[in-house]
Amino acid sequence: MRALVKAKDEPGVWLTEVPEPEVGPGDVLIRVLRTGICGTDLHIAAWDDWARANVPVPLVIGHEFVGEVAATGSQVTGIPEGALVSGEGHLICGTCRNCRAGKRHLCARTQGLGVNRSGAFAEYVALPAENVWVHSGPMDLDVAAVFDPFGNAVHTATAFPLVGEDVLITGAGPIGVMATAVARHSGARTIVVSDVSEYRLGLARQAGATETVDVSARRLADVRADLGLDEGFGVALEMSGQASALRELIANMRHGGRVAMLGLPDREIAVDWSVIVQRMLTVRGIYGREMFETWYAMAALLERGLDLSPVITHRFGFEDYEEAFETARAGRCGKVVLDWSAAA
């Protein structure tokens, strides 16, 4: 089968032939229809320090996907052939304290699809049945392909109650834009989104932002004052991983405010912890999704009319992967989707 592979210990990704994945008794073989390009995939293609330290070579990359069940192992029940499915890309150990307590998203020995084991940028991918999500009812394939990052957005945005809250979202990448839509749908009173990309701030406005801020040209504190938020924001979602964004976020929180952090910094960030203590802020780290509580929430949000269409901006055939990766890397985009349906 054809697949996008990190084939060499150097920058780049290559479209090449690889064997179809083996299917164990508890596994599901899935014919891939669509995949979404993630920031993680860009790190792997660039072959930066993080990628070199974590990704084995050679490896089929990719973890955002939707497809049809092609075959199931002898021990798999309840997942029929032909079903439309996406997959939870975090594969857990099942034996650590958190796994045994039902807190699977906190597994310390998590393996990542397309990061530590063969991924979904291919004609076929195999997953343990417990990681397979079966879509019920009609589902737009592009939306289904990005359930993984949508889950990150939902997990972050629902970390704290949002009804009636004044919400700050720092970072208008695809997950930040999805979180904006979730916050609007969940009853937030005010949603302010900050970034330095006017293109992506435009996507945030389409998703329901009350106000957007190009922080390279305007102070967040001035925007807050213009909106009459004298005491600051009640809830903040940090999506950027940028030091300046985190510091500005903390400076604009009200006393007792709550911060959910999904953005992953690429280096250590110094913050004024005295402000966090004196304002009695709650800071919660977010990684991935709750398995599978977040998935049920995602499905319910879409069923109740949440619109993700603004965030999916570019579509390419998988053979045009180089242009797709360059588009994602350039940043004037939301989610970039690869179509594998013609690969059969």
Q: Under the phi-then-psi rule, with left for phi > 0, alpha for psi from -120 to 50, and beta for the rest, what region is 47?
A: left
Structure tokens at 260: 């959910």
In the block, tokens 């911060």 appear at 259
Identify whether the C-beta of residue 204 lies closer than 8 Å to the C-beta of residue 195: yes
DSSP state of 47: T
15 labelled as ligand-binding?
A: no
* 86/291 Cα distance (integer angstroms): 13
Whether 43 is catalytic: yes
* 8/59 Cα distance (integer angstroms): 9
In the block, tokens 């213009």 appear at 226
200 labelled as ligand-binding?
A: yes
> Helix, strand, or coil here: 102?
coil
Number of helices and strands in the chain (H, E): 12, 18
195 labelled as ligand-binding?
A: yes
Residue of 40, 158, 170, 212 with catalytic role: 40
In the block, tokens 């063969």 appear at 118
Structure tokens at 46: 């660039």
DSSP state of 212: E
Whether 190 is catalytic: no
Identify the helix (H) or strand (E) that includes residue 64: strand 64-72
In the block, tokens 């405010």 appear at 257
Residue of 35, 43, 156, 190 with catalytic role: 43
Structure tokens at 320: 């045009």
333 labelled as ligand-binding?
A: no
* 336/315 Cα distance (integer angstroms): 6
Start-to-end C-alpha separation, the chain? 9
99 labelled as ligand-binding?
A: yes
93 labelled as ligand-binding?
A: yes
Angle at 214 between CA 186 and CA 165, to 5 degrees: 25
Binding site: residue ranges?
38, 63-64, 93, 96, 99, 107, 175, 195, 200, 262-264, 286-287
Q: Annotated active-site positions, please?
A: 40, 43
Binding site for NAD(+): residue ranges?
175, 195, 200, 262-264, 286-287
